[in-house]
């Protein structure tokens, strides 16, 4: 069915991304402290941050230039891929939020899931958006290429955060049964999102190899809001 007038530009592939943006805004606060906005962006290389945000803007804005049409086989496959990808993306958030201390959430595959699962639904968007509103040369894989760059940068960012928290959990407590310095207590508060003065002494063993995983687990406890 053809569309004319303003509706032709309103009914774009970008409409499919609106629920995802709303989801992100509404539920980010339920993610574990390491994935909160302030902690997630701490000490990230500037070049990586700029590249990630720039490609994010392109990936989010581009679909609003693509008509939403589900008339060909490839477009229907794209819609199916989009639905599957969004479902997996939201599920990865739910698991991290409800089961932050599970083996899945504490492992790198689960921790990075919200960063790499968007590639699935972004490819679906690319397959649906086979053309732009204007008669210019266009190939659907151009969008997928930019989306791939964004996901690669986003995964790199998330991997840095995961590595930082897993390593700091192991090294910040290297004195038997106690914190080394008061300044490190402040760093621990920022790392684990809680008052470390309230930490159970039983979770501060002398063996850093044991302390690391235990404190990583404690750092993933949802914060009361």
What are the tens digits of pLDDT across the range 166-183? Answer: 876 555 545 444 444 434
Question: Checking phi first, is residue 42 left (phi over 0); if not, alpha (psi -120 to 50) or beta?
Answer: beta
Task: Return the percentage of the chain with pLDDT > 90, whole number.
Answer: 61
Q: Is the dihedral of CA 66, 72, 75, 76 positive or negative?
A: positive
> Which of 213, 219, 222 lies closest to 107 in space, CA to CA?
213
What is the Cα Rg of the chain in Å? 21
Give the pLDDT score at 165.
Answer: 82
Choose among 194, 204, 205, 163: nearest CA to 32.
Answer: 194
Could you give the angle at the alpha carbon of 78 between the alpha carbons of 144 and 16, nearest 5°?
85
The mean per-residue pLDDT over the stretch 111-137 comes to 96
3-state secondary structure 124-190: HHHHHCCCCCCCCCCCHHHHHHHHHHHHHHHHHHHHHHHHHHHHHHHHCCCECCECCCHHHHHHHHH
Please determine, for residue 19, whether its predicted confidence score (pLDDT) is greater than 70: yes
Q: How confident is the model over 65-87, as a mean pLDDT?
A: 96
Mean pLDDT of 136-160: 96
- pTM of the predicted model as reported, rounded to 2 decimal places: 0.76
Domain ranges for the chain, please list them.
7-168
Average pLDDT over residues 91-118: 95
Alpha carbon 113 to chain centroid, angstroms: 7
């Amino acid at each position: 069915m053809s569309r004319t007038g303003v509706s032709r530009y309103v009914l774009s592939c970008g409409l499919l991304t609106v629920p995802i943006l709303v989801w992100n805004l509404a539920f980010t606060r339920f993610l574990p402290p390491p994935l909160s906005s302030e902690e997630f962006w701490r000490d990230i290389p500037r070049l990586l941050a700029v590249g990630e945000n720039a490609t994010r803007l392109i990936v989010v804005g581009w679909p609003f230039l693509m008509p939403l049409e589900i008339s060909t086989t490839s477009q229907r496959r794209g819609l199916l891929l989009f639905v599957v990808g969004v479902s997996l993306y939201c599920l990865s958030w739910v698991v991290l939020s409800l089961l932050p201390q599970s083996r899945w959430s504490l492992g790198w595959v689960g921790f990075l899931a919200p960063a790499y699962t968007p590639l699935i639904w972004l490819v679906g968007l690319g397959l649906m958006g086979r053309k732009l509103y204007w008669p210019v040369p266009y190939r659907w894989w151009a969008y997928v290429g930019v989306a791939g760059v964004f996901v690669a940068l986003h995964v790199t960012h998330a991997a840095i955060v995961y590595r930082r928290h897993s390593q700091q959990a192991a090294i910040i407590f290297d004195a038997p049964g106690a914190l080394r310095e008061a300044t490190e207590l402040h760093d621990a508060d920022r790392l684990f999102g809680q008052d470390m003065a309230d930490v159970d002494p039983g979770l501060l063993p002398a063996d850093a190899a044991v302390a690391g995983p235990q404190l990583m687990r404690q750092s993933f406890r949802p914060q009361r809001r």
